[in-house]
Amino acid sequence: MSPELVIEKCMRCGACSGACPVNAIFLEEHSPKVSDECTECGLCVKVCPVGAFRPGGA
Ligand code: SF4
Ligand code: SF4
Protein backbone atom coordinates (compact mmCIF):
# COMPACT_ATOMS: atom_id res chain seq x y z
CA MET A 1 0.00 0.00 0.00
CA SER A 2 1.17 3.53 -0.76
CA PRO A 3 1.40 5.99 2.13
CA GLU A 4 -1.85 7.63 3.07
CA LEU A 5 -2.02 11.41 3.25
CA VAL A 6 -3.79 13.13 6.12
CA ILE A 7 -4.73 16.20 4.14
CA GLU A 8 -5.65 18.38 7.10
CA LYS A 9 -2.04 18.23 8.33
CA CYS A 10 -0.27 18.87 5.04
CA MET A 11 1.17 22.36 4.59
CA ARG A 12 2.39 21.70 1.05
CA CYS A 13 6.06 22.23 1.84
CA GLY A 14 7.18 19.84 -0.90
CA ALA A 15 9.65 17.91 1.26
CA CYS A 16 8.02 14.57 0.47
CA SER A 17 8.12 15.24 -3.24
CA GLY A 18 11.81 16.14 -3.07
CA ALA A 19 12.68 13.09 -0.97
CA CYS A 20 10.91 10.40 -2.96
CA PRO A 21 13.61 8.32 -4.69
CA VAL A 22 11.35 7.35 -7.57
CA ASN A 23 9.61 10.73 -8.01
CA ALA A 24 6.25 9.24 -7.19
CA ILE A 25 4.90 12.31 -5.40
CA PHE A 26 3.46 15.24 -7.31
CA LEU A 27 2.25 18.39 -5.63
CA GLU A 28 -1.14 19.14 -7.07
CA GLU A 29 -3.17 22.23 -6.34
CA HIS A 30 -4.37 21.20 -2.91
CA SER A 31 -2.28 18.21 -1.87
CA PRO A 32 0.51 15.85 -2.82
CA LYS A 33 -0.53 12.84 -4.87
CA VAL A 34 1.26 9.50 -4.80
CA SER A 35 1.47 7.75 -8.15
CA ASP A 36 1.66 4.06 -9.00
CA GLU A 37 5.46 4.40 -9.16
CA CYS A 38 5.58 4.23 -5.35
CA THR A 39 7.83 1.44 -4.05
CA GLU A 40 6.54 1.81 -0.48
CA CYS A 41 9.98 2.73 0.83
CA GLY A 42 8.51 4.89 3.59
CA LEU A 43 10.85 7.84 3.07
CA CYS A 44 8.05 10.38 2.63
CA VAL A 45 6.60 9.26 5.95
CA LYS A 46 9.94 10.01 7.61
CA VAL A 47 10.66 13.37 5.99
CA CYS A 48 7.28 15.03 6.44
CA PRO A 49 7.78 17.66 9.17
CA VAL A 50 4.17 17.53 10.28
CA GLY A 51 3.54 13.79 10.06
CA ALA A 52 0.98 14.13 7.31
CA PHE A 53 1.83 10.78 5.71
CA ARG A 54 0.82 7.58 7.39
CA PRO A 55 2.38 4.29 6.32
CA GLY A 56 0.10 2.45 3.93
CA GLY A 57 -2.01 -0.38 5.20
CA ALA A 58 -1.75 0.76 8.82
S1 SF4 B 1 6.27 16.72 3.43
FE2 SF4 B 1 4.31 16.58 4.53
S3 SF4 B 1 3.61 18.70 4.79
FE4 SF4 B 1 5.20 18.69 3.21
S5 SF4 B 1 4.04 18.53 1.26
FE6 SF4 B 1 4.63 16.46 1.90
S7 SF4 B 1 2.86 15.66 3.07
FE8 SF4 B 1 2.64 17.90 2.92
S1 SF4 C 1 6.83 5.51 0.13
FE2 SF4 C 1 8.79 5.99 -0.92
S3 SF4 C 1 8.36 5.58 -3.08
FE4 SF4 C 1 6.38 5.78 -2.08
S5 SF4 C 1 5.79 7.93 -2.31
FE6 SF4 C 1 6.85 7.72 -0.32
S7 SF4 C 1 9.00 8.24 -0.73
FE8 SF4 C 1 8.01 7.78 -2.72
What mean pLDDT is predicted for residues 14-33? 93
Domain count, the chain: 1
Who contacts 15 (Cβ-Cβ below 8 Å, separation ≥6)?
47, 48, 49
CATH code at position 38 = 3.30.70.20
Confidence at residue 55, expressed as pLDDT on a 0 to 100 scale: 87
Confidence at residue 34, expressed as pLDDT on a 0 to 100 scale: 95
C-beta 27 within 6 A of ligand 2? no
Ligand lying nearest the CA atom of residue 27: 1
Percent of the chain with pLDDT over 90: 83
Q: List the domain range (segments joined by +) for residue 46.
A: 4-54
- Which is the closest atom of ligand 1 to the Cα of 13? 4
Closest Cα to atom 8 of ligand 2: 20
The CA distance from 54 to 2, in Å, is: 9
Reported confidence tier of residue 58, pLDDT bands at 50, 70, 90: very low
Ligand lying nearest the CA atom of residue 12: 1
